[in-house]
Structure 1
Amino acid sequence: MRRVRWHSEGHRDKSVWRKRTPVEREMGENTHDGTPGSWFRVTIPCGMKYDKTWLMNSIQSHCSVPFTPVDFHFLQTGAQFFVQEASTACALMDVSYKICDEERRKVCIPVFVGPSPVPYSVRDKLQPEEMEQLKLTLSKRYNIFKQALDLQRLRFDPDLVGHDIDIILNRRSCMAATLHVIEKNFPELLSLNLSSNKLYQLDGLSDIIQVASMVKTLNLSENELKSVWELSKMQGLKLEELWLQGNPLCSTFADQSTYVRAIRECFPKLLRLDGQELQSPVTLDVDTPYIVKPCKHIFLGSDELKSLVLQFLQQYYLIHDYGDRQRLAGAYHEEACFSLTIPFHPEDPAPSSLCEYFKDSRNMKKLKDPHLWVQLLKHTKRVIVHTLCGLPKTQHDFSSFVVDIWFQMETMLCFSISGVFKEVEGSCQGCVRAFTRTFIATPGGSSVLCTVNDELFVRDASPSETQSAFSIPMPTPSSLSQEQQEMVQAFSTLSVMKLEWSQKCLQDNEWNCTRAGHVCSMLKTEDKFPEEAFKEIP
């Protein structure tokens, strides 16, 4: 049996990959008809956290063949689009884990590729005579003097109904056709009215950023939008006026100021909301050593805020446990502070089980020398990372984590996490510790949050904590949902691991494809997987 070799970046060694059955043939055998022109679904599990334009440009630049993405849309956390031809799908598979961010750091974005039915926008594409009628209808609704297009209740327009043309703008084929007419006939569009069209998602409309980027006024009132998350797909527009009244999302905010603040997170230049003039955005003229980038998804009491914090913690502990801790510098502000504390026992000032932490412990109850107070407070991210690299190697039990977001302002977020971990090297290898950690962070930086203060408390785990640590059982295949089974199959294809090992890797990482991909790549690089985990390669 022979395993695939992996480079340090986490992608497959091409010299081995080329000895496999040609990818075009493998994919052809798994498509619906096996003929040229078959369709493939491309999924980026963590795609939602990246800007659409940057993500697609990055994929295009790393792909060995040019391609045209069809039906790009965001999933709950990921992104998805479709391509045609097996050769294109093959080239996109090689993009996985190769994309770098703007500062040339590997961001390890996995790309899953698999056979797919024909996309809806292609399957339900309007016929030429229908497109011509749609063009005539939109032309009647266009105000050339105001450069405004009124598409209110478009489906019920008599000119369309009379020709038996059903334009439902939630359908990607209908929205794509509408945007195509706009691109060809009204490229200077400034105002667009889409009210009363029962829109519940904006994936298709997000393409207007490329089609008519000059739009300043957008009316989405009296639709079915339930979350501000849908609006985040439109952030590329520099809107000055927005109408949202009559959508369910408007009733999800505690008060008007919270509502305005959330919408302005998506559209910072907004001057009018639902017809009401807004105060000019407040800017701070402060001489700070760095720029805090705006954070897209901080909304009071929302799922987006929860997702933001969990994403930060996943990235942080993935690097802390499995990667080079020097990379944790990206999670800290240049002038951040870090402190570590262990329990204080007067009769046993340096308990042997925690001796690796004692030298850095800043227990104010014990310390009498004021100079030590300052010395043990780790200041600047360089010093913090140096300290973290000196702490024992660990493996955290993600299932034990308890997270609490206990204070938030527009420019600051405070949250804490508690759980257990075990040491994996040294004299205390296998020892289980309990910890509590408190972060104070601001939006932005090279991570999803930028930490300005970090406080860590470590103690020996209690017997019950030790017994329950790392004890969540592995589900049997029959107990997996359809979505989880598909994830296992896709992960197995990408990693060349057997299904049971792919399932274990995903389960251990709480079904987070991104984190599982990181862990899998790192463990393969370090040759820590047994040979029986891999499929036989012909």
Structure 2
Amino acid sequence: MQENTQDGTPGSWFRVTIPSRIKYDRTWLMNSIQSHCSVPFTPVDFHFMHNGAQFFVQEASTASALMDVSNKICDEESRKISVFVSPSAAPYSVRDKLKPEEMEQLKLTLSKRFDVSQQALDLRRLRDDPDLVGHDIDIILNRRNCMAATLQIIKKNFPELLSLNLSSNKLYQLDGLSDIIQMAPTVKILNLSKNELKCVWELSKMQGLKLEELWLQGNPLCGTFPDQSTYVRAIRECFPKLLRLDGQELPSPVTVDVDTPCVLKPCKGSYFGSDELKRQVLQFLQQFYLIHDCGDRQGLVGAYHEEACFSLTIPFHPEDPAPSSLCEYFKDSRNMKKLTDPHLRVQLLKHTIHDIVHTLCVLPKTQHDFNSFVVDTWFQTETMLCFSVSGVFKEGDGSSQGCVRAFTRTFIATPASYSSLCIVNDELFVSDSNPKKTESVFFIPKPTCCASSIPTLSMERQEMVQALSTWSGMNLQDSQK
């Protein structure tokens, strides 16, 4: 095989790089490139990097055809995908390919370690296997050629493999194992315990594998999370169907039956379902935003469940990734179109009352306009209520003081005492407000005050009622209630 990397002679190898901060689905990406490429090709050593994806191809004609694909593919956000091609030495899996006799011995070794009844392959401490050591064969699974050879044998000889144990192999990266998605797609149980994996990013290289059970204990990455729940959430970002982690049962993942037909209710200005539900939701929102806008948001502690979750999102524009007008929200924004780091995706989810209220307290002070609120309740059971509220608010401090913002806030709540609600999930989206929308907001006519309308209250409470009425737009009787 020729390895000339400078000319287009037959046998030359070329490196193909797709730079991107977004990790595209491997199957979609390769199918898209293949459909636009005039020459059929087989990618070798495909793997994801921190700044994109990479693979190798052979022959100058294939390289030339791939160069023509650049910027002809767009993702779902209409971003053009670049494809760069450059001469290269042969990839490791080809350059250091195992000899036929070594492949045969590795096949015999794996066969001895295969449990037919369980469709399980035990490759613990594979390098130290006497059958390999006795033939002076050094199989180090961190090497792409060794992992590639192992996966080739698995594909050919154990096509129905369900369980693969790779523990105690000193694995510190999973570039080679990323091919398991194509070579052993039936694997449901994967044991990577007692290795040297330091970052969740390595696991993301195998996204697409439909794992149900994963073992990671004994890897340095397990100690990078503040608690068990954060650890579980980070791993499930990579494997949504995971049922067991390190031997512990996990809550069943939420699934959606897309084949079941349903009828969507038409959109309305505000939809509540019933008068009682309307009263309950509006009462909750009035109480919540009165405290939220008063200046000290510590009072919202009682509104959240102790294990509640909060996230903040602002719009992401590729041409303006850090809009200055929303800069005070940018560092806490969990926009999934921008974030590619699985660890940061988890970190920006705020869990527990303390973390949520602390996050709310450092956000700019606000004054919400109740007259702008549009409320929709879209799911209700005896134990859960899901609703959203959209409207505008004015910032009360910071560099953007006086700026009017649009917001949508989605709440998932459970019943609490005294017919109140307890928040278990709070998702806030903040954006710049449409200028036309701000022309009429925050103009609330002062209601006429009638002394006889609040005769039983002290002067201090009458002033409180008057202030609430002026600020919220409610009449005095409702404000007093």
TM superposition score normalised by structure 2? 0.56
Question: Hey, what's the Cα distance between the residues in 2 that align with 1:217 and 1:63?
Answer: 36
Structure 1 match to 2:320:
317
1:90 paired residue number: 64
- Which of 139, 143, 156 pairs up with 1:184? 156
Partners of 2:67 and 2:409 in 1: how far apart? 36
Write the letter of the residue equivalent to 2:192: L
Instruction: Choose 1 or 2 for highest CA Rg.
Output: 2
**Does 2:81 correspond to 1:109?**
yes
Alpha-carbon spacing, 1:184–1:194, altered in 2? closer, same or farther (3 Å)? same
Asked if the contact 1:48/1:76 (under 8 Å) is kept, the reply is no
Q: Distance in 1 between matches of 2:144 and 2:123?
A: 16
Q: What does 1:468-487 align with in structure 2 at a 5 Å threshold?
A: none
Are 2:187 and 2:210, in contact at CA under 8 Å, matched by a contact in 1? Answer: yes
Match of 2:379 in 1: none
> Post-superposition shift, 1:210?
1.3
Equivalent in the alignment of 2:431: 454
Corresponding position of 2:213? 241
Higher relative contact order (CA 8 A, sep 6+): 1
8 Å contact from structure 2 (residues 405, 430) kept in 1: no
Percent identity of the aligned residues? 72
**Structure-2 residue corresponding to 1:193:** 165
Query: What runs of 5+ residues in structure 1 fail to find an aligned partner?
Result: 1-29, 291-307, 322-329, 332-363, 381-415, 421-434, 443-449, 459-538
C-alpha distance 379-68 of structure 1, shift in aligned 2 (>3 A): farther
Contact 1:40–1:84 under 8 Å retained in 2: yes
Residue among 219, 232, 255 paired with 2:191: 219
Please give the secondary structure, in 1, of the residue aligned with 2:81.
Answer: coil
CA deviations over 1:394-429 (Å, ceiling 9, x no partner): xxxxxxxxxxxxxxxxxxxxxx9xx99xxxxxxxxx
1:106 to partner: Cα distance? 3.6
For 2:237 and 2:408, the matched residues in 1 are separated by: 20
Look up the equivalent residue of 1:317 and give its one-letter code.
D
Q: CA deviation at 1:213?
A: 1.2
Q: Aligned-pair distance for 1:455? A: 3.8
Q: Report the Cα distance in structure 2 between the residues aligned to 1:270 and 1:75, rounded to whole angstroms.
A: 24
SS of equivalent residue, structure 2 residue 430: strand
Aligned with 2:44 (options 67, 70, 80): 70
Q: Pick from 124, 134, 139 the counterpart of residue 162 of structure 1.
A: 134
2:229 counterpart residue number: 257
Secondary structure of the 2:156 match is helix
Cα distance per residue 1:268-287 (max 9 Å; x no partner): 22221111122223569999
**Structure-2 residue corresponding to 1:206:** 178
Q: State the alpha-carbon separation in 2 of the partners of residues 94 and 379 from structure 1.
A: 50
1:503-522 to 2 correspondences below 5 Å? none
Change (3 A) 1:185 1:95: same
2:271 aligns to what?
Answer: none
- Residues 460-516 of structure 1: per-residue CA shift (max 9 Å, x gap): xxxxxxxxxxxxxxxxxxxxxxxxxxxxxxxxxxxxxxxxxxxxxxxxxxxxxxxxx
**Do the aligned partners of residues 32 and 283 (structure 1) sit closer, same or farther apart at CA in structure 2, a change above 3 Å counting?**
closer
Residue from 36, 40, 44 that aligns with 2:14: 40
After superposing the two structures, state which structure 1 stretch, 216-225 or 262-271, moved more.
262-271
Deviation by residue 1:143-184 (Cα, 9 ceiling, x = unmatched): 011100000011111111111111111111111100000000
Q: Which amino acid counterpart does residue 264 of structure 1 have in structure 2?
A: R
Partner deviation per Cα, 1:244-290 (whole Å, 9 max, x = no partner): 00001100111111111111222222221111122223569999889
Matched residue count: 311
Q: What amino acid does structure 1 have at the position aligned with 2:33? A: I
| Closer/same/farther in 2, CA of residues 161 and 98 from structure 1, 3 Å limit | same
Distance 1:314 1:455, change over 3 A: closer
2:114 is aligned with 1:142? yes
Shift of 1:320: 9.2
Q: Deviations over 1:64-91 (max 9, x none)?
A: 1001111111111211111111111111
Change (3 A) 1:455 1:191: same
Q: Which amino acid aligns with 1:129?
A: E
SS in 2 for 1:317: coil
Q: Distance in 2 between matches of 1:233 and 1:438?
A: 38
CA contact (8 A) 1:48 1:79 kept: no
Which amino acid in the other structure matches residue 82 of structure 2? P
Query: Structure 2 vs 1, CA of residues 163 and 109 (structure 1 numbering), >3 Å: closer, same or farther?
Result: same
| Partners of 1:262 and 1:137 in 2: CA distance | 35
**Residue number among 50, 59, 65 corresponding to 2:24 in the alignment:** 50
Shift of 1:122: 0.9
Equivalents in 2 of 1:219, 1:166: separation in Å? 22
Q: What is the rounded CA distance, in whole Å, between the counterparts of 2:407 and 2:134 in structure 1?
A: 61
Cα distance in 2, alignment partners of residues 151 and 455 from structure 1 = 55
